[in-house]
Amino acid sequence: MSKQSSSAWLLDGFKIGDIFFASPTQQFRARHGVDTLSTYAPATSDTIKALFDQADKQGNQDAILFGLVPFDARNPASLTIPAQYQQAPVPPRAAPQQAASTASDTSRPKAIERQPVPAPEVYGDMVRRALELFAQGDVKKIVLSRAMDVTLDRPVDYEKLLPDLLARNAHGYTFAIPAWGIAGQADTPDTATPAGTMVGASPELLVRREGARIFVNPLAGSIGRHPDPEIDRARKEGLAISEKDLREHSYVVSDIVRILRSYCDELDVPDGPSVIGTDALWHLSTYITGTLRDPEVTALDLSCALHPTPAICGHPTDRAFQHIRELEPFERGYFAGLVGWQRANGDGEWALTLRCALQTGDRSLRLYAGAGTVAGSDPQSEITETATKMETFMRAIS
The question of whether 331 is a catalytic residue gets the answer no
- The H or E element that residue 79 is part of is strand 77-81
Catalytic residue among 140, 160, 204, 382: 204
Q: Are strands 288-292 and 213-216 parallel, antiparallel or unpaired?
A: antiparallel
DSSP-assigned beta bridge partners for residue 358: 198, 366
- The H or E element that residue 124 is part of is helix 120-136
Catalytic residue among 141, 160, 382, 385: 141
Mark 179-209 as b/e (b = at least 16 C-beta within 10 Å): bbbbbbeeeebeeeebbbbbbbbbbbbbbbb
Distance between the two ends of the chain, CA-based, in angstroms? 34
Strand, coil or helix: what is 220?
strand
Strand intervals (E) in 118-270: 141-152, 173-179, 196-202, 205-210, 213-216, 219-224, 264-268
The question of whether 230 is a catalytic residue gets the answer no
Whole-number Å distance between alpha carbons of 260 and 218: 13
DSSP-assigned beta bridge partners for residue 78: 40, 68
- The H or E element that residue 370 is part of is strand 364-374
Cis check for the bond before 89: say yes or no (omega within 30 of 0): no
The answer to whether 351 and 216 have CB atoms below 8 angstroms apart is no
Instruction: Name the residues annotated as catalytic.
Output: 141, 204
